[in-house]
């Protein structure tokens, strides 16, 4: 006959199994990349930086960003150098845009410079005095300059070239012939805008007025108060 079954208290107790820590699934971090036109990868961070530059209207930085990133990745630029170069790119772009805007508002008949002027065309030209005018000391002193002489010696070229130099140094210039100025002011009497037109006329730092019959009165500085 079978013997009595052992009670639960008589069973050998099994040792408890050690608890295992919960398993965590590790998701690898990846940086998504897209390919630019040049074939080099553009990361998500690059894309975010571009959007930030657009929002801040820093198009100068945006235009050179690819080249500067390539320099930085190649070890040519450190962190501060990278930032400084990008800032300089933006400054250069803004200066160029401002220069083009002033040049457009000057309304020159021709885009000529003093470097292009032929001083050997006439032995009677006061070359030293003309070159001295190129230093623009008269502009900073608020003085007027009058060029006079026979037809064809280059007075208009010199006057516009001096105006071009002033634009390059940040001055606001306006070129206009005397006949047009008088006609414009006469129209101001008709519609009662004469004072407004006068203010527009004297607003530039340099107002260049040309007269006919071989005489040119250029580069009259509105700062001097003398016309």
Q: Look up the CATH number of the domain holding residue 204.
A: 3.40.50.300
Burial of residue 164 (CB within 10 Å: 0-12, 13-18, 19+) is buried
Count of structural domains, the chain? 2
Q: Are residues 78 and 122 in the same domain?
A: no
Q: Does any domain span residue 206?
A: yes
Q: Does any domain span residue 226?
A: no
Strand partners for 174: 207
Q: Does any domain span residue 151?
A: yes
When computed from its CA atoms, the radius of gyration of the chain, rounded to whole angstroms, is 38
Q: Are residues 93 and 188 in the same domain?
A: no
Q: Could you tell me the pTM of the whole model?
A: 0.61
For residue 156, give both structure tokens. Answer: 């208009």
Q: Does any domain span residue 172?
A: yes
Low-confidence ranges of the chain (pLDDT < 50): 26-35, 37-39, 212-227
- Where is the domain boundary, 104, 122, 152? 104
Q: Are residues 135 and 217 in the same domain?
A: yes
- Where is the domain boundary, 63, 81, 104? 104
Q: Are residues 119 and 217 in the same domain?
A: yes
Per-residue pLDDT, 88 = 92
Angle at 117 between CA 114 and CA 121, to 5 degrees: 150
Q: Are residues 151 and 205 in the same domain?
A: yes
Q: Are residues 216 and 138 in the same domain?
A: yes
Q: Does any domain span residue 27?
A: no
Residue linked to tokens 């064809």? 152
Per-residue pLDDT, 9 = 52
- Where is the domain boundary, 81, 104, 127? 104
Boundaries of domain holding 61: 41-104
Per-residue pLDDT, 3 = 54
Q: Are residues 126 and 148 in the same domain?
A: yes
Question: Are 172 and 204 in contact, with CB atoms under 8 Å apart?
Answer: yes
Q: Are residues 69 and 167 in the same domain?
A: no
Per-residue pLDDT, 123 = 77
Q: Are residues 94 and 132 in the same domain?
A: no
Per-residue pLDDT, 219 = 36
Per-residue pLDDT, 194 = 80
Name the DSSP class of 76.
S
Q: Does any domain span residue 109?
A: no
Q: Are residues 136 and 214 in the same domain?
A: yes
Per-residue pLDDT, 215 = 35
Q: Are residues 122 and 193 in the same domain?
A: yes
Q: Does any domain span residue 75?
A: yes
Per-residue pLDDT, 218 = 36
Q: Are residues 51 and 119 in the same domain?
A: no
Q: Does any domain span residue 69?
A: yes
Question: Are 69 and 75 in contact, with CB atoms under 8 Å apart?
Answer: no
Residue linked to tokens 């206009």? 176
Please list the alpha-helical segments (H only) found in 34-126.
44-55, 59-73, 79-106
Rounded Cα distance, 46 and 35, in Å: 12
């Amino acid at each position: 006959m079978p013997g009595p079954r052992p009670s639960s208290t008589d069973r050998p107790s099994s040792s408890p199994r050690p608890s295992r820590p919960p398993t965590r699934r590790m998701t690898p971090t990846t940086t998504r990349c897209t390919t630019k036109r040049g074939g080099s990868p553009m990361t998500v961070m690059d894309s975010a930086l571009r959007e930030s530059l657009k929002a801040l209207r820093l198009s100068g930085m945006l235009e050179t960003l690819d080249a500067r990133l390539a320099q930085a990745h190649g070890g040519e630029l450190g962190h501060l150098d990278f930032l400084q170069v990008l800032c300089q790119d933006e400054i250069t772009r803004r200066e160029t845009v401002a220069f083009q805007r002033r040049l457009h508002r000057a309304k020159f008949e021709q885009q000529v410079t003093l470097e292009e002027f032929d001083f050997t065309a006439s032995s009677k030209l006061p070359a030293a005095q003309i070159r001295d005018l190129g230093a623009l000391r008269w502009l900073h002193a608020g003085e007027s300059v009058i060029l006079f002489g026979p037809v064809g010696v280059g007075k208009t070229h010199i006057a516009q070239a001096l105006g071009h130099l002033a634009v390059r140094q940040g001055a606001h210039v306006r070129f206009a012939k005397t006949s047009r100025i008088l006609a414009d002011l006469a129209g101001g009497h008709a519609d009662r805008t004469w004072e407004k037109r006068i203010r527009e006329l004297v607003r530039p730092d340099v107002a260049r007025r040309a007269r006919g019959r071989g005489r040119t009165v250029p580069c009259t500085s509105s700062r001097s108060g003398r016309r």
